[in-house]
Chain A
Amino acid sequence: MQVNDIRIQDNRFPKFRKPLAIIKFAFCILLLLPHTADAHKITVFAWTEGDMVHVESKFSGGKKVRGGEVIVYDSDENQVITGKTDDQGEFSFKIVKKTAMKIVVIAGMGHQGEWAIMADEIEGAKVVEKDTNFPSSAVSDESPPEKTESAPSASLSADDIRLIMEASLDKKLKPVIKMLATSQQDHGPSVKDIFGGIGYIFGLMGVASYFHYRKKK
C-alpha cells in the first residue's frame, strides 16, 4: 500500500503544471483594483470650541456619515447626549458635563466608530466660555461663582489675559484642527498595508508547505 500512496501523490502533480495560469489569474484580480484605496471603517473626530463640541465623522476614504446616530457617553458610561449627524457628517452639542467624554457614531449595518475627549480639553473650554461675558451665558447651569467677581473689574488680571489668548487661539487654530482632522480621517489602507497583508498570507502558505514537505521526508 505504501507504494500505491506514493504513486497517487505523483498522479496529482500535473495539477501544478500551469503555474503561469494561476499567476495570470491573480494578476487579473489585481488589475481590478482601483487606485484609490477605499472602504468602510468609520473615523470620528471631535474638538472643542468655546462651550461647544463639534463632531465630524467619515467612512475611511472621505465619504461623510449622513444621518448617523451619535451617542455621547460621560466618564461613567452614562449616555449624556444623543443626536444625528447632518448631511456634512457633522454634529455639534453644548458641553453639559465637565468630564471626559466618549463620542460614538453608529452608521447602521454594523458600522461604528468612536472618539474620546479628554477632561482637560473641556476644562479649558469651560473657562473660556466664562470670559466671553455674553449676557446669554445661561448656557451652563454650573457656571463658576468667580464669574460675577471678575466681570466688573476694569483692569485685566493675568488670568484674564490668558483666557482671552486661549479664546483667540481657539479661533485661529480652528482651520489647523480641521486640517488635522481631515488628514487623520483620509488615511485609508496604504499600499504598505496591502502588500504587508499579502506577504503574511504567502508566508503562511510557506509555513504550511514547509511542514508538509518535512513530514514527507
Chain B
Amino acid sequence: MHISEGVLSGPVLISGIAIAVAGTSIGLRKLDYERIAQASLLSAAFFVASLIHVPVGPSSIHLILNGIVGLLLGWAAFPTILIALMLQAVFFQFGGITTLGVNTIIMAMPAVLCYSLFGSFIGRKPAVSLTAAFACGFFSVFFGAITAGGALMFTEEGFLKVSAMLIMAHLPVMIIEGIITAFCVGFLQKVHPVMLPEFSRGKAYERQKFVNRSGVVNASE
C-alpha cells in the first residue's frame, strides 16, 4: 500500500501533504497526554507490521494494522501512523519522504473513518463487538485501497481499474487484518478494557459526572 517515490504527480503529492498536515494537527489536539504511551505502542506495532509479508499473485503485500490503530486511537491515528510511516521510509525505504503525506492519508483516513463507523459497537455484546472489530480491520484496508486508487488514478490507468486491482490484491490482508483486529479487541476486552473506545467514552462520561458532582460539592463548601 506504500506508494513509491516518483510515481505520483506534483499536485497529488502537495494536496496529500496538506491533508495529512490537517489530519495530524487534529489528531495531536485530540491526543491527550495520558494516551501517548498507548499511541507509541501502536505506532511501534504499525511500524513492524509492514514486515509481515503475504505473497499474493504478482505483487507482495503485508499487514497494515491501520484498523486496530484507528479503533484504539481515533483521530490520534494520524500522528501515530505518520511517525511510523516516516520511520519506515527512512529505515526500510518503503514509500518515501515525498509520498509521506499521501501514504499517511491512505492508511490513516480509513482508520479514522472505520473508528467513527464501528467504534460505537465495541464493548456491546461479544458477538456484536467482535463483528464490529472484524469489520473495522477489514474495511480500513478496503478504504485504504480505494484511497490509494484515487491517488494513483492521475498517473496510472483509471480509478476503477487500479482500485479493483488493489482491492483484489489486498483481499487476503483484509481478512487477516479483520481476524487480528477481532482478536485484539477480544483480548483487550478481557485484559485491559480501558484501551477500547467504548470504555474510554464511558470514562469521559464518568469524568464529566465527577466534575459536576465535585463542582456541586465545591459550591456547597
Q: Which residues of chain B (77-121) have a CB below 8 Å from chain A?
A: 83-84, 87-88, 90-94
A38 contacts B92, C-beta separation under 8 Å: no
- Which listed segment binds A: B13-21, B133-141, B188-196? B188-196
B166 on the A face (CB < 8 A): yes
Contact of B53 among A16, A61, A66, A194 (CB under 8 A): A61
Chain B residue at minimal CB-CB distance from A213:
B33
A15 contacts B41, C-beta separation under 8 Å: no
- Indicate the size class of the contact surface on chain B: 35 or more
B8 partner residues in chain A, CB cutoff 8 A: 110
Q: Given A197-B87, A201-B47, do A109 and B194 touch, yes or no (CB 8 Å)?
A: no
Q: How many A-B residue pairs have CB under 8 A?
A: 166
* Chain B positions 14 through 34: 1 when the CB is less than 8 Å from some CB of chain A, otherwise 0: 000000000000000000011
With the chains together, A184 CA to B93 CA distance in Å? 14
B205 partner residues in chain A, CB cutoff 8 A: none
A63 partner residues in chain B, CB cutoff 8 A: 55, 60
Q: Given A41-B94, A61-B60, do A26 and B44 touch, yes or no (CB 8 Å)?
A: yes
With the chains together, A162 CA to B214 CA distance in Å? 93
Q: Given A22-B38, A33-B51, A59-B60, do A110 and B92 touch, yes or no (CB 8 Å)?
A: no
A12 on the B face (CB < 8 A): yes
B41 contacts A22, C-beta separation under 8 Å: yes
Contact of B192 among A22, A40, A41, A113 (CB under 8 A): A22
Contact of B166 among A21, A24, A25, A109 (CB under 8 A): A109
B52 contacts A25, C-beta separation under 8 Å: no
A108 contacts B156, C-beta separation under 8 Å: yes
B6 partner residues in chain A, CB cutoff 8 A: 104, 112, 114
B220 on the A face (CB < 8 A): no
Contact of A4 among B90, B91, B218 (CB under 8 A): B218
The 5 closest A-B CB pairs, nearest first, are A38-B53, A110-B3, A205-B40, A193-B91, A197-B87
